[in-house]
């Protein structure tokens, strides 16, 4: 038996105490690892978002985010000036409207006289139970507002001059073909979810604005936030909604990231207070701000749990050394050096922390994903726009949903391009790799060595003669 095996054996000298210490250390190290894993997952997501930032500028009518009706839509005249600015290489223009499903009930508030209708049903299934829980003020309990049985979420119709990329999402056509953005025909792209809900195929027709539309393409709606949308040419939408020359959202693509800030300022100067102008960099930063908060929380929690682990082992080792003063005195009397005795106690401490780390790795592996999701969900929920209910309804304000008013869905129009990214936060995967396990073991050894410094100091101060005198 040598100093290492003695240290190992001593770690389990008092089984009850050792198990308690190991469990406490396991929890502390487990929490540290969860925070490392969460931080890593969030950092990867931030890197991925940052690397995907395009050099675009999003232009929406002023006040677009407060869900009020838009009476000041962007005009073709304004946008022509933008398109002619230096460094602007293309300009995507969208006009968004909402269509009430024929025969579906309206909500009992707001303007319900809207005539813009469709025979399509929304594929979006609302969880009213969840919504009423979150918004008890609107869905009053005990005889308050009741959702009509035949309520269907209004369909969003987006007219665009660039159907290949809608609200920053590259459409993937799963069948059929893209529509021409410059067309003025009643043709449409529908999402796979919409097609499935309404039994639509290529060549099928549906009604909107009391006009027949032909489905020419079906796009994959995964993670695009466009599942409840139908895409039509811009001119068609302007004609049918009686908003000729109006645009509710424009995306300008700039020739390089270097010119993004300057061009954004130029666009702001051209449009003045009539529009909100946000560059993709600003949008990305706003979108990932909650993730940066999680990184900070994770870092502080990591430091806190590591310090807690160090303090635990520090106090435990001091207690153990004080308890075994006589034994240490005897070991020194019969020829053991301070270093050798300290080494034995460090081995004991390492045994406790490594065993704790193994428990911690198991805890960390099991808890990393749930805790990461909890952090992401809570933090992103706290950072959502004030009118959070609008998200439940796919972007539209509540009154506007009730009315089917053609000028709502402002939030979606403004945030659409980054909605997919924000939705993807829910898919953040906390991966437990070898590096994390090695980090855990490494942290355990560091905790043990730092935690043992006081005990080593105490050991060096124990004088065998004094211990012997206590006989």
Partner 1 sequence: MLKVKKLSKVYKSGGRDVQAIDNVNLELSEGRFVSIIGRSGSGKSTLLNLLGGLDKPTTGEIIVDGIDITNMSDHALISYRGQKIGFIFQSYNLVPNLSAVENVMLPMEFIGVPKSERYTRAINLLEQVGFTNEEIKRKPSRLSGGQQQRVAIARALANKPKLILADEPTGNLDSHTGKIIFELLKKLSKSQKTTIIVVTHDLEIAQKTDQTYNLKDGKLKK
In the complex, the residues that contact partner 1 under the rule CB under 8 A are: 1-3, 6, 9-10, 13, 326-327, 330-337, 340, 463-465, 468-469, 471
Nearer to partner 1, 325 or 399 (CB): 325
Residue closest to 53 by CA, chosen among 281, 304, 303: 281
Rounded least distance, CB 382 to partner 1, Å: 53
Rounded least distance, CB 290 to partner 1, Å: 53
Nearer to partner 1, 5 or 196 (CB): 5
Residue closest to 237 by CA, chosen among 227, 224, 222, 249: 249
CA distance between the termini of the chain: 28
Nearer to partner 1, 15 or 386 (CB): 15
Structure tokens belonging to residue 353? 């922390």
Rounded least distance, CB 451 to partner 1, Å: 21
Rounded least distance, CB 327 to partner 1, Å: 6
Nearer to partner 1, 8 or 418 (CB): 8
Nearer to partner 1, 165 or 338 (CB): 338
Rounded least distance, CB 467 to partner 1, Å: 9
Rounded least distance, CB 9 to partner 1, Å: 6
Rounded least distance, CB 319 to partner 1, Å: 17
Nearer to partner 1, 67 or 345 (CB): 345
Contact between 231 and 79 under an 8 Å Cβ cutoff? The reply is: no
Rounded least distance, CB 458 to partner 1, Å: 16
Structure tokens belonging to residue 349? 């401490």
Rounded least distance, CB 13 to partner 1, Å: 5
Contact between 187 and 159 under an 8 Å Cβ cutoff? The reply is: no
Most distant CA atoms of the chain, gap in Å: 105
Rounded least distance, CB 344 to partner 1, Å: 11
d(CA 271, CA 204): 41
d(CA 80, CA 89): 12
Nearer to partner 1, 125 or 469 (CB): 469
Contact between 230 and 190 under an 8 Å Cβ cutoff? The reply is: yes
Nearer to partner 1, 10 or 266 (CB): 10
Q: Write the secondary structure of 78-92 as one string of H (helix), E (strand) and C (coil).
A: HHHHHHCCCCEEEEE
d(CA 228, CA 197): 10
| 255-288 b/e (C-beta count within 10 Å ≥ 16 → b) | eeeeebeebbebbbebbeeebbbbbbbbbbeebb
Nearer to partner 1, 13 or 201 (CB): 13
Residue closest to 386 by CA, chosen among 135, 97, 106: 135
Nearer to partner 1, 6 or 268 (CB): 6
12: left (phi over 0), alpha (psi -120 to 50) or beta: alpha
Enter the DSSP assignment of 179. P
Helices (H), 425-463: 434-451, 453-461
d(CA 7, CA 343): 8
d(CA 372, CA 290): 13
């Amino acid at each position: 038996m040598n100093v290492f095996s003695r240290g190992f054996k001593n770690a389990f000298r008092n089984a009850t105490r050792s198990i308690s210490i190991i469990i406490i250390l396991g929890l502390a190290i487990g929490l540290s690892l969860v925070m490392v894993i969460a931080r890593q997952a969030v950092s990867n997501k931030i890197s991925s978002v940052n690397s995907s930032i395009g050099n675009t500028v999003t232009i929406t009518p002023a006040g677009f985010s407060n869900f009020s009706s838009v009476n000041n839509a962007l005009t073709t005249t304004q946008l022509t000036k933008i398109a002619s600015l230096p460094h602007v290489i293309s300009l995507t223009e969208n006009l968004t409207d909402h269509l009430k499903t024929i025969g579906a009930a309206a909500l009992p508030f707001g303007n319900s006289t809207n005539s813009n209708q469709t025979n399509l049903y929304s594929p979006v299934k609302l969880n009213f139970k969840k919504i009423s829980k979150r918004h008890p003020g609107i869905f009053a309990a005990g005889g308050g507002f009741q959702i009509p049985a035949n309520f269907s979420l209004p369909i969003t119709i987006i007219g665009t001059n660039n159907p290949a990329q809608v609200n920053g999402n590259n459409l993937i056509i799963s069948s059929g073909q893209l529509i021409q953005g410059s067309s003025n025909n009643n043709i449409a792209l529908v999402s796979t979810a919409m097609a499935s809900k309404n039994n639509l195929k290529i060549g099928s027709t549906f009604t909107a604005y009391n006009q027949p539309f032909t489905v020419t393409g079906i796009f994959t709606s995964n993670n695009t936030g466009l599942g409840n949308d139908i895409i039509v040419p811009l001119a068609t939408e302007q004609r049918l909604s009686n908003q000729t020359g109006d645009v509710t959202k424009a995306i300008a693509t700039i020739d390089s990231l270097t010119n993004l800030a300057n061009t954004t300022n130029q666009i702001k100067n051209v449009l003045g207070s009539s529009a909100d102008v946000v560059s993709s960099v600003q949008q990305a930063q706003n979108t990932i701000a909650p993730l940066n908060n999680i990184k900070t929380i994770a870092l502080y929690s990591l430091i806190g749990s590591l310090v807690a682990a160090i303090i635990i082992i520090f106090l435990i080792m001091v207690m153990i050394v004080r308890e075994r003063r006589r034994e240490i005195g005897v070991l020194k009397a019969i020829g053991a050096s301070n270093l050798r005795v300290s080494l034995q106690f460090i081995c004991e401490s390492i045994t406790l922390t490594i065993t704790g780390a193994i428990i911690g790795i198991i805890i960390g592996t099991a808890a990393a994903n749930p805790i990461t999701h909890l952090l992401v969900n809570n933090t992103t929920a706290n950072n959502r726009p004030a009118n959070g209910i609008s998200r439940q309804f796919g972007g539209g304000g509540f009154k506007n949903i009730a009315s089917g008013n053609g000028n709502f869905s402002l939030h979606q129009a403004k945030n659409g391009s980054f909605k997919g990214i924000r939705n993807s936060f829910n898919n953040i995967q906390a991966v437990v790799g070898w590096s994390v396990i090695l980090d855990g073991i490494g942290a355990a050894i560091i905790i043990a060595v730092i935690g043992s410094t006081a005990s080593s100091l105490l050991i060096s101060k124990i004088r065998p003669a004094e211990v012997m005198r206590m006989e």
